Chains A and B, each alone.
Chain A
Amino acid sequence: MNPYKRAPFVIIATTLVYIFLYAPIVGLILYSFNASRANVTFEGFITERSDKVVMDGSMVVSSPCGAFHWYCDLAKNNDVLEAAGNTMTIAITATIIATIIGTMSAIALQRYDFKIKPFSQLSLYIPIVIPEIVMGIGALTLFSQLFSWVNSTFALTGDARLSLGMATVAISHIAFMVPFVTLVVQARLQGFDKSYEEAAMDLGANEWITFRRVTFPMILPGVLSGALLAFTLSLDDFVITFFTNGPGSTTLPIYVYGLLRRIITPQVNALSTVWILVVFSAVVLLQILQSRESKQHS
């Protein structure tokens, strides 16, 4: 039996960790069913017909969606839908591109020796350790300088003018996602036996087929973990997005931040709940895939 099982300190510490980790999330989900318009107090769950006396207009009187009132409200909110669409578009695009670049650099760093290799390896850590706000400001400066130079040099006018938007957000996201993907894939490659590739080539496969049929399937779990990490980083990025977005490229974190400055309704909670569910399902899915994979391999 595990001797630490009954140590009171362990039990207390574990409980505290779970409380601080999950109580906010549970609270947040609970408040998405709040009968009160104000997000400060919990006035009970919404029912189809609220019997409560409306004193100050803060209570919901009737709800055709029942307990899911705020979710229905959310679904009718075009701004939210647009922000959600932007977020997903940016996250998916940036993840695909960052995963490709990150995987390629991981393989290059693993396989080849070149003069600037130590520098390349070190440079991977810089975007990870550097404060996000610095990267955000840096990206903003770069884009605005570059765009004003391009716009004036080529005398671009109207819609042709380059400005901040979806593309700049995506590019900035790719820039900070690549190192994460590279490091995760590199870890997977560390234990990769070169003789698998030699065997494939020995059996008649050229370099490309060897990569596609042997190397890639074998490092796929690492690539997927890297991609998922990058995806979630992009989904909830606020700071860099804040600096690099423009009109029409509002993402969910930016939108929520905007809402909070005006009125806080349980709509925000409903939105967050949906968001948590999406990310959580993605993680669970990946776990299932990986455990199935490792079962086949052992």
Chain B
Amino acid sequence: MTSEFAVELRDVVKQFITPEGNQLNAVDHVTMQIKNGEFFSMLGSSGCGKTTSLRMIAGFEWTTEGEVYIEGKPMGHTPPFQRKVNTVFQSYALFQHMSVYQNIAFGLEMEGVKEEEIKKRVGRALEMVQLTGMERRKPKQLSGGQQQRVAVARALVKTPDVLLLDEPLGALDLKLRKEMQLELKALQQQLGITFVYVTHDQEEALTMSDRIAVMSQGKVQQMGTPVEIYERPANKFVADFIGESNFLEGKIKSLEKDDARVFIPALNMEIRGLPISEGLVKGEEVVVSIRPEKIRITDKNAKAENLFHAVVKNTVYIGADTHIYVSAQGVNLKVLEQNHISRLDPNSFYHVGQDVGLMLMPENTLVLKKDA
């Protein structure tokens, strides 16, 4: 391995011409560095440019501007069959006219591997995805989950430097998807291969990834570990897209490195929070973002910093959690409490109309730029 990075995208642009004849940057000046042995996810809703980025790494699309590097080498117009990466397709793309064995052996045949060696390696690949004995089946005779495993085995048998996965679990039902998430993650850790994983499912990305790139409109909104992305979303888009957030609009009154005072007109009070977005200035119109589970409900008469009154509008019991919808002077907020106590007693719930105090921890009260 010559490079620290398995895959690198440097200022990559991919332009398409829409049917109406307009230019559209499906990928808009994206720079990413994916480390060796990393489980890296590109997360975003459809049309955010994640699949196009993956296809440029695979070599199915060429960059309009910028360059893709694999193991430090610029790829230029290198065709897919000369790149040391392999892809697991969303549709699996298993060759219907070939058996499971032939599908997995195909890539090795292309490398000119000897027949006994192919036999051995296909056997091992099947073992790895727990499909031993299925060699002679045709893809159509397998369940969705089994087809998915064949697709993974077919790509991994080539021992690529990087495995690209394009929403590989999208077609599976929820339970199987959860199982496969853990299996894929275990497989990646066991083999130490770099995985680049494309998904629109935030939970999937959080569960599996070492690092995540959150994408929107062709741009990377934030890149970081699952914890960083959830706990310290870089902007309003990420705070909204990953998990749930309450937003309060306000104006910065004073600003220091780790301390921002924001006046919230709707609450008619000043809130202390953590400045997150880069380039915030005093007097700027901003949004303050708080996760529902980071809000503490206290006694209505308590007096403390970042505390204000609210009225309970509704409570919803979800099993593990209870969602409490409150209104603070017309501002609707959602609060989440874990049910670590038994809820069998109806009085253990806040009741509708109850006056409560809401307390925001400054380190979880994130001050973000308004338009992003």
**Is B87's CB under 8 angstroms from A202's CB?**
yes
Is B117's CB within 8 Å of the partner chain A? no
Is B100's CB within 8 Å of the partner chain A? no
Which chain A residues (187-233) contact chain B, with CB distance < 8 Å?
A: 193, 195-196, 198-206, 209, 213-214, 217-218
Complex interface bits, B50-93 against A, C-beta within 8 A gives 1, otherwise 0: 00000000111000000000000000000111000111011101
Chain B nearest CB from A198 CB (Å) reads 5
Is A296's CB within 8 Å of the partner chain B? yes
Contact of B87 among A193, A198, A217 (CB under 8 A): A198
Contact of B80 among A198, A214, A218, A297 (CB under 8 A): A198
Give the residue name and chain of the B residue nearest to A210 (CB).
B81
Is A298's CB within 8 Å of the partner chain B? yes
Is B154's CB within 8 Å of the partner chain A? yes
**Is A206's CB under 8 angstroms from B81's CB?**
yes
Complex interface bits, A58-69 against B, C-beta within 8 A gives 1, otherwise 0: 000000000000
Given A196-B95, A217-B97: A204 touches B89 (CB 8 Å cut-off): no
**Is A297's CB under 8 angstroms from B138's CB?**
yes
Bound together, the chains give a CA A14 to CA B287 distance in angstroms of 75
Summed over the interface, the residue pairs from A and B with CB atoms below 8 Å come to a total of 68
Is B197's CB within 8 Å of the partner chain A? no
Which of B81, B85, B96 has the largest number of chain A CB atoms within 10 A?
Answer: B81
**Is B140's CB under 8 angstroms from A213's CB?**
no
Is B106's CB within 8 Å of the partner chain A? yes
**Is A214's CB under 8 angstroms from B95's CB?**
yes
Bound together, the chains give a CA A14 to CA B93 distance in angstroms of 44
List chain A residues, Cβ under 8 A from B80: 198, 201-202
Bound together, the chains give a CA A196 to CA B103 distance in angstroms of 11
Bound together, the chains give a CA A201 to CA B110 distance in angstroms of 10
Chain B nearest CB from A246 CB (Å) reads 44
List chain A residues, Cβ under 8 A from B158: 203-204
Bound together, the chains give a CA A228 to CA B60 distance in angstroms of 35
Which of B80, B90, B96, B154 has the largest number of chain A CB atoms within 10 A?
Answer: B80
Bound together, the chains give a CA A296 to CA B137 distance in angstroms of 10
Contact of A209 among B90, B95, B97, B110 (CB under 8 A): B110
**Is B89's CB under 8 angstroms from A198's CB?**
yes
Is B256's CB within 8 Å of the partner chain A? no
List chain B residues, Cβ under 8 A from A195: 89-91, 93
**Is A204's CB under 8 angstroms from B138's CB?**
no
Is B37's CB within 8 Å of the partner chain A? no
List chain B residues, Cβ under 8 A from A200: 95, 106
**Is B60's CB under 8 angstroms from A218's CB?**
no
List chain A residues, Cβ under 8 A from B111: 204
Chain B nearest CB from A130 CB (Å) reads 33
List chain B residues, Cβ under 8 A from A204: 81, 107, 110-111, 158
Size class of the contact patch on chain A: 20 to 34
List chain B residues, Cβ under 8 A from A217: 97
**Is A203's CB under 8 angstroms from B138's CB?**
no
**Is A206's CB under 8 angstroms from B89's CB?**
no
**Is B140's CB under 8 angstroms from A297's CB?**
yes
Contact of B140 among A201, A202, A218, A298 (CB under 8 A): A298
List chain A residues, Cβ under 8 A from B89: 195, 198-199
Bound together, the chains give a CA A199 to CA B60 distance in angstroms of 10
**Is A203's CB under 8 angstroms from B91's CB?**
no
**Is B138's CB under 8 angstroms from A196's CB?**
no
Which of A196, A202, A217, A218 has the largest number of chain B CB atoms within 10 A?
Answer: A202
Complex interface bits, B146-171 against A, C-beta within 8 A gives 1, otherwise 0: 00000000110010000000000000
Contact of A206 among B58, B79, B85, B93 (CB under 8 A): B79
Given A204-B107, A213-B106, A297-B140: A199 touches B81 (CB 8 Å cut-off): no
Give the residue name and chain of the A residue nearest to B60 (CB).
A198
List chain A residues, Cβ under 8 A from B58: 198, 202
Chain A nearest CB from B243 CB (Å) reads 32
List chain B residues, Cβ under 8 A from A205: 81, 106, 110
Give the residue name and chain of the B residue nearest to A193 (CB).
B91
Bound together, the chains give a CA A213 to CA B95 distance in angstroms of 9
Complex interface bits, B101-115 against A, C-beta within 8 A gives 1, otherwise 0: 000001100110000
Bound together, the chains give a CA A201 to CA B158 distance in angstroms of 13
Give the residue name and chain of the B residue nearest to A196 (CB).
B93
Give the residue name and chain of the A residue nearest to B91 (CB).
A195
**Is A203's CB under 8 angstroms from B154's CB?**
yes
List chain A residues, Cβ under 8 A from B110: 203-205, 209
List chain B residues, Cβ under 8 A from A297: 96-97, 138, 140
Which of B87, B94, B111 has the largest number of chain A CB atoms within 10 A?
Answer: B87
Bound together, the chains give a CA A214 to CA B102 distance in angstroms of 12
Chain A nearest CB from B124 CB (Å) reads 17
**Is B97's CB under 8 angstroms from A218's CB?**
yes
Bound together, the chains give a CA A298 to CA B95 distance in angstroms of 13
Bound together, the chains give a CA A220 to CA B70 distance in angstroms of 37
**Is A203's CB under 8 angstroms from B79's CB?**
no
Bound together, the chains give a CA A164 to CA B96 distance in angstroms of 47
**Is B140's CB under 8 angstroms from A199's CB?**
no
**Is B106's CB under 8 angstroms from A202's CB?**
no
**Is A199's CB under 8 angstroms from B87's CB?**
yes
**Is B93's CB under 8 angstroms from A198's CB?**
yes
Bound together, the chains give a CA A203 to CA B58 distance in angstroms of 11
Residues of B within 8 A of A (CB): 58-60, 79-81, 85-87, 89-91, 93-97, 106-107, 110-111, 138, 140, 154-155, 158
Query: Can you list 7 residue pairs at the A/B interface with Cβ under 8 Å?
Result: A199-B87, A203-B106, A204-B158, A205-B106, A217-B97, A296-B140, A297-B97
Contacts A198-B80, A214-B95 supplied; 5 other A-B pairs, CB < 8 Å: A201-B60, A204-B110, A204-B158, A209-B110, A298-B140
Closest CB pairs A-B (n = 9): A204-B110, A203-B107, A199-B93, A195-B93, A201-B80, A217-B97, A202-B87, A204-B81, A195-B89
